[in-house]
Amino acid sequence: MAADAVKTGRAACAELKKHANLIADQRIAGPAREWRCDILSPKDQPKGYFVIGLRGVCYDPDGCGSTLLGWYAVRRSDGSISEWDVGEDQLGKPLTSR
């Protein structure tokens, strides 16, 4: 699932959204093109990765509890994606096909 080098947080977000089918059911989380990326500040990112909190869409007029779909790490050198373990602040399992 690797791609070319990823140079910006915006590009890392786009790479992550390309793999929407591995992350969440878009019938529930909304279309991937509308998902939002919360990219950690450069000082908080591990060397060689962009760490991103991925958020879905809330269509409920009364609001939603949380739209967080998960935390992911996109490797800068090749665009490969892994889960990010927030509790341990470390790389988790690689995102692979279902």
Residue 74 to residues 47, 59, 61, 91: CA-CA distances in angstroms?
A: 11, 28, 33, 10
Distance CA 4, CA 46 (A): 19
Contact 53, 67 (CB under 8 A): no
Distance CA 96, CA 81 (A): 8
Tens-digit pLDDT profile for residues 18-65: 988 888 888 778 888 889 999 999 999 999 999 999 998 888 778 777
Contact 34, 57 (CB under 8 A): yes
What are the sequence ranges of the domains in the chain? Answer: 9-87
82 — pLDDT class (breaks 50, 70, 90):
very high
Q: E strand or H helix at 11, and its extent?
A: helix 9-17
92 — pLDDT class (breaks 50, 70, 90):
very high
Residue 98 scores a pLDDT above 60:
no
Residue 2 scores a pLDDT above 80:
no
Count of CB atoms within 10 A of residue 82's CB?
A: 19
